[in-house]
Amino acid sequence: MEIPSIKIPSGEKIETISIPLPTADVPFYRPMVIPPSDLKEPDGVQAEQTDEVDTGIRNVNIPIIDFDVPLPENEILITASTTAVVSVAATLTATAAFKWVVTAMKPILKTAWKKLSPKSQKA
């Protein structure tokens, strides 16, 4: 009895592929110099006068607790209050209209349901 053998052909040589290493542009920033909060001008130097820019925000003092509350411009207050009033009015009107429609349609829908489903009445 002969033992079977298998002839395996020689494999082909595969060249390895050269993949270059990835490169990246490293982000950078210009350092921002921030002076300390307690920075003062040296002796003999006058501080530069700056004009204050009106931001449109007024401060209202509450005398009981001695606290300043920022208050925006009149245009912003008028716009915000008008929007609030209109949205509340629309909500109340829609609620009243919906209740009226439900009250008016309930008997009509009940009658239509009874006419369309006679089988449920007999059972």
Query: For residue range 63-118, what is the model confidence (pLDDT) as tens digits?
Result: 888 888 888 888 888 999 999 999 999 999 999 999 999 999 999 999 998 888 87
Q: How many domains does the chain have?
A: 1
Q: Flag whether 40 is in a domain.
A: no
| Spatial distance between the Cα atoms of 28 and 25, rounded to a whole number of angstroms | 9
In a domain, 24, yes or no: no
Q: Is 80 within the bounds of a domain? A: yes
Place of tokens 């411009």: 73
Q: Which domain holds residue 79?
A: 59-115
Domain-located, residue 30? no
Q: Which residue has the higher pLDDT, 34 or 87?
A: 87
Other Cβ atoms less than 10 A from the Cβ of 72: the count is 13
Find the radius of gyration of the CA atoms of the chain. 42
pTM to 2 decimals? 0.41
Q: Is 70 within a domain?
A: yes
CA dist 78 to 70, 72, 75, 86, Å?
Answer: 16, 10, 5, 12
